[in-house]
Amino acid sequence: MLVRCSSSERGGQQRSNAAVRVNGAAHRATLQVGAALETSINETLAELSAPLLAPAPATDGRERSRQNIPTEKQAEDPFRQAQIVEGGVRYQQTVVVRSYEVGPDRTATLETILNLLQETALNHVWMSGLLGDGFGATHGMIKSNLIWVVSRMHVQVDHYPLWGDVLEIDTWVGSSGKNGMRRDWLIRGRGSGNIYVRATSTWVMMNKNTRRLSKMPEEVRGEISPWFIDRHAIREEATEKIIKLDSNAKHVDSDLKTIPDQFLQHHQLSSIILEYRKECGSSDVVQSICQPDEDSVSPSENVSMVRGPSLLPEVINGHHSLAGALQQWPTKYTHLLQLKAGDVHEEIVRGRTTWKKKL
Amino acid sequence: MLVRCSSSERGGQQRSNAAVRVNGAAHRATLQVGAALETSINETLAELSAPLLAPAPATDGRERSRQNIPTEKQAEDPFRQAQIVEGGVRYQQTVVVRSYEVGPDRTATLETILNLLQETALNHVWMSGLLGDGFGATHGMIKSNLIWVVSRMHVQVDHYPLWGDVLEIDTWVGSSGKNGMRRDWLIRGRGSGNIYVRATSTWVMMNKNTRRLSKMPEEVRGEISPWFIDRHAIREEATEKIIKLDSNAKHVDSDLKTIPDQFLQHHQLSSIILEYRKECGSSDVVQSICQPDEDSVSPSENVSMVRGPSLLPEVINGHHSLAGALQQWPTKYTHLLQLKAGDVHEEIVRGRTTWKKKL
């Protein structure tokens, strides 16, 4: 089954099969796709697609400006409980995990974590006094009609924070090749200092009108490079290439639920890498594909107990099912979200996920 | 079209047509329904169903306790930027509207507003030292297996706050009849003091196991009544009764989009009243029904300009369409969300909404 992503902004009647949207509605579009996917149980690619593409500002004339954008560098933002530290290169913000940001086990959802990454990144640029439009574009970028888009994201969750936990989120930027920028994050428990989440991302610039990637103009490099530091939240040995899946993959099209429910009951995501290839618009039809690494089964799991005929269906399917806990599941998966338009199914995002048993 | 609400917690295979769920998964269940509805464009009942039913704590043994629940009254919560004022009866919290809490017009969504109401209500009880389980139940309630459920909610949005706005949220409680509690809220801009949102709600107690409403035990009354004050965020003259809709209503079943897209482009919700009748479970199939008050058309709108043949389809359907802005729309609607199980379609929630033109 496919999910059609529609948007109130564009009118429900309108549908387009264009592979790449070329107007300013990409912001809403991206969020719509995220929301649609989110209703599927598979939270893997779902929640991740939403906040990671840097949204283009609305161009429909109804835009209202963000309040109080500073044109000068700020050292402190008392209401956001944020400060710029380490001579200006590191942004730090304190947040408390809220009641509506957690799942049924009272730990922060992955969506919450990604939201906080987006929020602190934008606030960092905001406090740096570089902000032109509220979406992280600098003044130089706005002059050249450029916006930020994320091309790669790697999030590693060591522990999911609990409802009520006080978190300290640090973020900073560095260089990434000739035309890119790296942004890293660390999320720590304020009391313990324990690291909950590490994340790194790569950003490139896109022309807002042509939707083509752009070189980094010298003016923009001059604006942002003074903030660059060479520090890595995740030590990535060599960047693993994510293979391209096709329709021969094990799970295709299944209502975007490419990770089995039983697996999700007993496992949680510990690492996700996403490589963005294409924009995705509000009326695009998308499809999710997933391939387990069959050789990634956790060696500690006992298979022999599981698939015998002695378990009643009630036990196997029940809320407190042991089957899901005991069944042998791969712990690594490759993912693909692609457009379902015409004969060529263009890739939107490739992903790799790693899962571990819930405690 | 119907929306089937499934949950990873219960396993995708399981489906139940029971009108009322009787296990502890109601929390997740309610949220699932909210999420499913939310993907429809109609944001009326959708976003509202999610946070308003007081969720029951998970009973599956995987529950983890909330951090640092105080057993004594606290006057200040520095990390949440909250304090108890006015001799202990009023809770006040400062929040900043975040990047992911706004819609494409950069104003806070109704979902965000409702989330903040839920969050501040729970934090109020938390700081009062009454909290037993994290979901607002007092120690006395836990002894009697009671949980809070909301029976009525009235939210009035005077202005939608902008991304970056610093808000001050006040909340307090009062008596409501013999067995109920009223909770009110005011959301103001911190700088201006302007009121953005007023809200009032009625809460009653439900037995967690039988799922039947309960009288308020004397012990619980003793715990909470010292906090009651007689102050109303919304001055409600007489409580308007919401009529029950049936399948003769104008909009039935239409993919849960009972408010037309074109209307939503140019109007925003200014008031909503919800009356809860039944719990709704994770695998329940629900249906949305809506009836406009045909006599509630805003008198200032000019009808004659609209439906003539001179407008090209592009203009009528386009993003910048004037048609939606000029068309004559009713501004008041009656809503019903009901279960679609068996022959009797039990009511989940009745609603009344009032809308106004966007600025």
Q: Is B129 domain-assigned?
A: yes
Contacts of A306 (CB under 8 A, 6+ apart): A323, A326, A327, A328
Return the CA Rg of chain A. 21
Chain B residue closest to A77 (CA)? B96
Task: Flag whether residue A35 sits within 8 Å of chain B, measured between CB atoms.
Answer: yes
Cβ-Cβ pairs closer than 8 A, A with B, add up to 155
> Contact B80/A68, CB-based, under 8 Å?
no
pLDDT tens digit at each of 359 positions of chain B: 233 333 333 333 332 322 222 222 222 223 222 322 232 223 334 333 333 333 333 333 333 444 555 566 788 999 999 999 988 899 999 999 999 999 988 999 999 999 999 999 989 988 887 666 656 788 899 999 999 999 999 999 999 999 999 999 999 999 999 999 999 999 999 989 999 999 999 999 999 999 999 999 999 999 899 989 999 999 887 777 899 998 888 888 656 667 777 888 889 999 999 999 998 887 788 889 999 998 888 655 444 444 434 444 444 444 445 555 556 788 999 999 998 877 788 999 999 999 998 87
Report chain A residues whose CB lies below 8 A from the CB of B16. none
3-state helix, strand, coil in chain B (%, to 5): 20, 30, 45
Q: Is B203 domain-assigned?
A: yes
> Contact B12/A261, CB-based, under 8 Å?
yes
* Signed CA dihedral, B315, B317, B319, B322: sign only: positive
Question: pLDDT grade, residue A69 (50/70/90)?
Answer: low
CB B34 within 8 A of CB B49: yes
CB A280 within 8 A of CB A19: no
Cβ neighbourhood burial of B126 (10 Å; 0-12, 13-18, 19+) = buried
Report chain A residues whose CB lies below 8 A from the CB of B80. 96
Chain A residue closest to B81 (CA)? A79
Q: Is B68 domain-assigned?
A: no
The boundaries of the domain holding residue B110 are 3-12+24-57+73-235+246-357
CB B283 within 8 A of CB B16: yes
> Contact B63/A11, CB-based, under 8 Å?
no
Q: Is B65 domain-assigned?
A: no
Q: Is A231 domain-assigned?
A: yes
> Contact A64/B106, CB-based, under 8 Å?
yes
Task: List, for residues A265-307, the tens digit of each pLDDT value.
Answer: 889 999 999 999 998 887 788 889 999 998 888 655 444 444 4
Contacts of B228 (CB under 8 A, 6+ apart): B89, B173, B174, B175, B181
CB B135 within 8 A of CB B55: yes
Task: Flag whether residue B64 sits within 8 Å of chain A, measured between CB atoms.
Answer: yes
Closest chain A C-alpha to B125 CA, distance in angstroms: 13
> Contact A38/B35, CB-based, under 8 Å?
yes
Chain B residue closest to A6 (CA)? B41
Task: Flag whether residue A80 sits within 8 Å of chain B, measured between CB atoms.
Answer: yes
Task: Flag whether residue A312 sits within 8 Å of chain B, measured between CB atoms.
Answer: no
Task: Flag whether residue A8 sits within 8 Å of chain B, measured between CB atoms.
Answer: yes
More confident residue, B326 or A203: A203
The pLDDT of residue A344: 80
Q: Is B62 domain-assigned?
A: no
Chain A residue closest to B100 (CA)? A115
The pLDDT of residue B298: 66
The pLDDT of residue A238: 76
Report chain B residues whose CB lies below 8 A from the CB of A261. 8, 11-13
The CATH number of whichever domain residue A15 belongs to comes to 3.10.129.10
Q: Is A310 domain-assigned?
A: no
Q: Is A169 domain-assigned?
A: yes
The whole-angstrom separation of Cα A214 and Cα A137 is 14
Number of domains in chain B: 1
> What is the full DSSP assignment across B140-166?
HHHHTTEEEEEEEEEEEESSPPBTT-E
Task: Flag whether residue A61 sits within 8 Å of chain B, measured between CB atoms.
Answer: yes
> Contact B107/A64, CB-based, under 8 Å?
yes
The whole-angstrom separation of Cα A130 and Cα A127 is 8
The whole-angstrom separation of Cα A225 and Cα B121 is 44
Helical pair A44-52 and A110-128, crossing angle rounded to 10 deg: 10
